[in-house]
Amino acid sequence: MARIDIAIPCYNYAHFLPECIGSVLSQDIDVRVVIIDNASSDGSAEVARELAAQDRRIEVICHETNVGPNASFNEAIDLARAEYFLILCADDLLTPDTLRHGLAFLDANPKAAFALGANADMWQGGELPRQQGGGMLMDGAAFIERSSLAMGNGIPAHALLARTTAQKAAGYYRASLPFCDDLELALRLALAGDVAELAMPIAVRRIHSSNLSASTWNDRLLVLREREKAFESFFANEGASMPNRPRLNRIVKQRLGEAAYWSALSHFARRRAPEGTELLQFALSLNPKSRFFPPLGHLYRTEGVARRVGAIASFNLGVAKRVEGRQ
């Protein structure tokens, strides 16, 4: 089986690092692990060096100053030299046997540029989901279209198992996209070939107080805005030559606006008017027609249709007019 380079950027995750490394080294694969410590102040560098002293497959790079996560991700891309490549955050865990099955699937499908795992809930301890092998192959263009129609929902892009040649051709993570850089990179990788979707998760995220995702994804407006930026970046750059780019770009904005509209309604119902007002302003900027016609199509593309339809009857369209009057 081919060899893989796994980069593990780390900042103040000394207490998570041993278990993260263990989830990699316990797998029956030919692996090189590069820990990139970003000037941690909690002893992460010392822990990394201790782990490297115990296993020759581990290398350690320590920065004297914090250069930020994107710079560490991109440094890892430059360092990659094996056939396959993966970035694993130091507070995440690989699922058992995921690399053996994932690499075997990619070996068997040479036209695949990268592999994604299935979605996984945030890990709270206990037994990790175990890989069972198998997966499906999707044309890269079809993957981009499906991702656009879903506004990036359901893409576990935080762990991309990529062919190193495809990764280097796709380029770096963009610092202008601090929250959805992995989504945008997945879209770029899909331009290089087919997409392998494995039957089980590649990695799981832990629940903890300092998890960046935990606070970020609770801010609905921030999530929608960052997804808009990710698709804008992709369609303005690498995806600009796609023949269906205008249609997909238009659909993404429309559906983001629809999602913001109903999220605004939900915030108003929960007496969170300031957040609701901002969401509604964002919705109207992307989908002006919703001033007059509630975007009912969104309800039937998501779960909880009955509850949302009930909400329609109680929604006061005058809210939209008042918000418009403030703009």
The residue from 176, 201, 216 where one domain ends is 216
Calpha distance 120→108 (Å, rounded) = 25
Indicate if 156 and 202 belong to the same structural domain. yes
**Residue 238 in domain:** no
**Residue 234 in domain:** no
Indicate if 54 and 100 belong to the same structural domain. yes
Angle at the Cα of 281 from the Cα atoms of 277 and 283, rounded to 5 degrees: 115
The domain of 104 spans 3-216
| Residue ranges in the chain modelled with pLDDT below 70 | 1, 120-131, 208-217, 300, 303-327
Indicate if 164 and 254 belong to the same structural domain. no
Position 225 scores a pLDDT of 96
Residue 151, domain CATH = 3.90.550.10
Position 186 scores a pLDDT of 97
Indicate if 204 and 247 belong to the same structural domain. no
Indicate if 14 and 132 belong to the same structural domain. yes
Indicate if 140 and 14 belong to the same structural domain. yes
Give me the DSSP letters along 205-222.
EBP-TT-HHHHHTT-HHH
Calpha distance 83→4 (Å, rounded) = 6
**Residue 319 in domain:** yes
Position 301 scores a pLDDT of 72
- Write the pLDDT tens digit of every residue in 100-116: 999 999 999 999 999 99
Residue 57, φ and ψ in degrees, nearest 5: -80, -5
**Residue 197 in domain:** yes
How many CA atoms lie less than 13 Å away from 241 in the CB half-sphere? Answer: 3
Number of C-beta neighbours around residue 132 at 10 A: 11
- Any residues with CB less than 8 A from the CB of 300 and at least 6 apart, and which? none
**Residue 235 in domain:** no
Indicate if 47 and 175 belong to the same structural domain. yes
Position 88 scores a pLDDT of 96
The residue from 216, 234, 265 where one domain ends is 216
Q: What is the pTM of this model?
A: 0.88
Assign 229 to helix, strand or coil.
helix
- How many domains is the chain partitioned into structurally? 2
Position 313 scores a pLDDT of 45
Burial class (CB in 10 A: 0-12, 13-18, 19+), 325: exposed
> Which of 321, 220, 319 lies closest to 279 in space, CA to CA?
220
Indicate if 115 and 166 belong to the same structural domain. yes
Residue 309, φ and ψ in degrees, nearest 5: -65, -35
Indicate if 209 and 261 belong to the same structural domain. no
The residue from 198, 216, 234 where one domain ends is 216
**Residue 169 in domain:** yes
Indicate if 119 and 160 belong to the same structural domain. yes
Indicate if 181 and 250 belong to the same structural domain. no
**Residue 227 in domain:** no
Indicate if 70 and 209 belong to the same structural domain. yes
Position 158 scores a pLDDT of 84
Length of the chain in terms of residues written: 327
**Residue 258 in domain:** yes
